[in-house]
């Protein structure tokens, strides 16, 4: 039996060339000291595999039509066998891909692996980063819930700030001057056909370069990269002490990817994908659009930037940032690679991580957003009683919108300063001036409040225990 099987396999392999196909993996030499710091890229690729598999699975159940997409997703989420798990895998796979890609990029930057002769690896990597961001964004719209639809509009508005061609790009993105079924169709086509095709091509090229130029050896302080001698030095080093990629190096990739897989499966099973918001309806204004976590820091930036420079930042920021990242290997492609000798590289990475993390935190808190659902203040005091005017003041505070942005005794929003003890900071006149005239971040109420109403609110605000 064994003999027969072995004969069959020999035939298949002889005519099919499978061993030969895999042979380069076993003969390709890599530096022996490439360790756990080299697993980020392969784990990113593994997430891409998860995305392809779960994406195919989802596409068997999802119906990309403006009329029923939302319902088909409800079905996937709530009724289909393993449906919510598959959606969870696709969601956390995307998160994992974004995160691991970021770590991979940081690793490559800190080790200056983008220097000679691996410049094209960096550039193709940046293209992959851009395409992955597009995939993450287009996927969010395919949920075809209120959040997804409004995200598309927010993205279009950002494009709109680009000088001269802004409008055109914005409407190109939306597939017309309004949101419609064609918007869903084009996001579906991009997410499922166009950009996956581009990803496959560029990933293929990226991997080809890894084999062609070899993985970068771990840097050693003082060992400089000299384009004139590097290739020869690298080949000699490999010939002397290189180890085969399979299995000496790849086992770490396999183990780490398996770990990633366990984490993603657990997250998908126990937490799942974000709940769908309400059915897309452009006449429903009671929504609170917010993007997925990988974009929420940008969303936060838009709320916090000085508005005088905002248009310029939106229009030119990504362009300048993208150009700089793209140009990195041309700015410096030789010399020192060790992060120990490149303190500014470390400082830069820490700075970027801290900035993005604090924006994430702000995006999570959303201190700039009015709290429409704030619990109204009680119109009765716990101790003593309000005068008629003060009582009227509380009611107005609840209804005219003060409450959305100001906190009193734990009720209300956090856009403006807390007013529980405002009577200790400001005089009655100062409060009146502020309410009537407003400020940079507060509307003026002079036009909408009557004199009596204003007095009622002020009377209330001046009381000592509210």
Partner 1 sequence: MDSDKEQTALQNTSREGENRRKFLSKITLGVGSFVAAVLAVPVITSMLDPVLRKKTPRWRKVGSLEDFEVDKTKMVSFKDTSPYKWSTEISQTAAYVRREQGDTFTAFSINCAHLGCPVRWVEESELFLCPCHGGVYYKDGSRASGPPPRGLFKYPIRVVGNNVEIKTAPIPITNMRA
The binding site for partner 1 (CB under 8 A) comprises 66-67, 150, 153-154, 156-163, 166-167, 170-172, 174-182, 185-186, 280-290, 299, 302-303, 305, 307, 310-312, 315, 368-370, 372, 396, 399-401, 404-405, 415, 438-445, 447-448
When the beta carbons of 334 and 434 are compared against partner 1, the nearer one is: 434
**Rounded to the nearest whole angstrom, what is the least distance from the CB of residue 450 to partner 1 in the complex?**
12
Least spacing, CB of residue 167 vs partner 1, in Å: 5
What is the C-alpha separation between 109 and 51, in angstroms, rounded?
Answer: 26
Q: Smallest distance from the beta carbon of 287 to partner 1, in angstroms?
A: 6
CA 453 from chain centre, in angstroms, equals: 45
165 in Cβ contact with 41 (< 8 Å): no
Residue in the structure block whose two tokens are 């030499």: 29
Question: Minimum CB separation from partner 1 for residue 311, in Å?
Answer: 5
Question: Which CB sits closer to partner 1, 54 or 290?
Answer: 290
Write out the H or E segment, with its range, that includes residue 22.
Answer: helix 18-27
Nearest to partner 1 of 27, 441 (CB atom): 441
- Cα gap 291→296, rounded to integer Å: 6
C-alpha–C-alpha distance, residues 212 and 206, integer Å: 10
Which of 112, 122, 73, 61 has the alpha carbon at shortest distance from 278? 73
Residue 352 beta carbon to partner 1: minimum distance, rounded to whole angstroms: 23
Q: CA 357, CA 403: separation in Å to the nearest integer?
A: 29
Of 90 and 371, which has the nearer Cβ to partner 1? 371
**Judged by CB, which is closer to partner 1: 12, or 320?**
320
The smaller minimum CB distance to partner 1, of residues 283 and 464, is found at: 283
Say if strands 243-244 and 29-30 run parallel, antiparallel, or are unpaired.
antiparallel
Q: Which is nearer to partner 1, 17 or 221 (CB)?
A: 17
- CB closer to partner 1 out of 55 and 175: 175
Q: In 118-194, which residue ranges form alpha helices assigned H by DSSP?
A: 119-142, 146-159, 166-174, 181-189
Nearest residue to 41 (alpha-carbon basis) of 267, 206, 245, 196: 206
- Identify whether the C-beta of residue 296 lies closer than 8 Å to the C-beta of residue 363: yes
CA distances from 94 to 192, 236, 292, 311, 332 (A): 14, 40, 11, 30, 32
CA distances to 106, 115, 290, 415 from 42, rounded to whole Å, are 14, 20, 31, 43
Name which of 129 and 162 has its Cβ closer to partner 1. Answer: 162
- Is 215:334 a contact under the CB 8 Å cutoff? no
Q: Tell the smallest beta-carbon distance from residue 356 to partner 1 (Å).
A: 18
- In the complex, the smallest distance separating the C-beta of residue 77 from partner 1, rounded to whole angstroms, is 20
Smallest distance, Å, CB 408 to partner 1?
16
Residue 142 Cβ, how far from partner 1 at the closest point, in Å? 14
In the numeric block, the tokens 């919510």 are attached to 84
Nearer to partner 1 among residue 122 and residue 294 (C-beta): 294
Least distance to partner 1 from the beta carbon of 174, Å? 7
Terminal alpha carbon distance of the chain: 89
Check the CA dihedral 370-374-376-381 and report its sign.
negative
């Amino acid at each position: 039996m064994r003999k027969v099987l072995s004969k069959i396999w020999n035939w298949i392999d002889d005519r099919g060339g499978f061993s030969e196909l895999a042979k380069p993996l076993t003969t390709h030499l890599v530096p022996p000291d490439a360790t756990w710091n080299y697993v980020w890229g392969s784990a990113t690729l593994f997430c891409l595999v998860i995305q392809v598999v779960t994406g195919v699975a989802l596409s068997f159940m999802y119906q990309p039509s403006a009329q029923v997409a939302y319902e088909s997703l409800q079905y996937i989420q709530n009724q289909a066998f393993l449906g919510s798990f598959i959606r969870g895998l696709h969601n956390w796979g995307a998160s994992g891909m974004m995160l691991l890609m970021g770590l991979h990029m940081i690793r490559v930057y800190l080790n200056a692996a983008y220097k000679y002769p691996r410049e094209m690896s960096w550039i193709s990597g940046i293209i992959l980063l851009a395409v992955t961001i597009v995939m993450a964004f287009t996927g969010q719209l395919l949920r075809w819930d209120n959040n997804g639809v409004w995200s598309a509009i927010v993205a279009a508005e950002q494009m709109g700030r680009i000088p001269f061609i802004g409008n055109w790009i914005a409407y190109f993105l939306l597939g017309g001057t309004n949101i419609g079924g064609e918007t869903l169709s084009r996001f579906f086509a991009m997410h499922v056909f166009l950009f996956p095709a581009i990803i496959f091509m560029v990933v293929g090229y990226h991997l080809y370069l890894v084999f062609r130029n070899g993985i970068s050896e771990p840097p050693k302080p003082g060992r400089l990269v000299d384009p004139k001698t590097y290739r020869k030095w690298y080949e000699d080093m490999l010939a002397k002490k290189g180890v085969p990629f399979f299995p000496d190096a790849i086992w770490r990739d396999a183990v780490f990817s398996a770990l990633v897989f366990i984490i993603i499966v657990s997250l998908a099973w126990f937490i799942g994908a974000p709940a769908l918001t309400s059915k897309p309806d452009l006449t429903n204004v009671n929504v609170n659009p917010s993007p997925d976590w990988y974009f929420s820091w940008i969303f936060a930036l838009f709320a916090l930037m000085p508005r005088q420079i905002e248009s310029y930042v939106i229009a030119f920021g990504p362009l300048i940032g993208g150009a700089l990242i793209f140009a990195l290997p041309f700015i410096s492609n030789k010399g020192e690679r060790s992060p120990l000798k490149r303190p500014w590289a470390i400082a830069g990475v820490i700075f970027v991580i801290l900035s993005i993390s604090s924006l994430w935190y702000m995006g999570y808190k959303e201190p700039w957003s009015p709290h429409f659902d704030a619990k109204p203040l009680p119109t009765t005091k716990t101790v003593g009683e309000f005068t008629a005017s003060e009582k009227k003041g509380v009611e107005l505070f609840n209804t005219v919108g003060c409450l959305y942005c100001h906190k009193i005794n734990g009720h209300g929003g956090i856009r403006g300063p807390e007013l529980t003890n405002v009577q200790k900071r400001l005089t009655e006149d100062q409060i009146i001036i502020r309410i009537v005239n407003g400020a940079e971040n507060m509307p003026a109420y002079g036009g909408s409040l009557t004199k009596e109403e204003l007095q009622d609110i002020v009377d209330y605000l001046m009381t000592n225990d509210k």
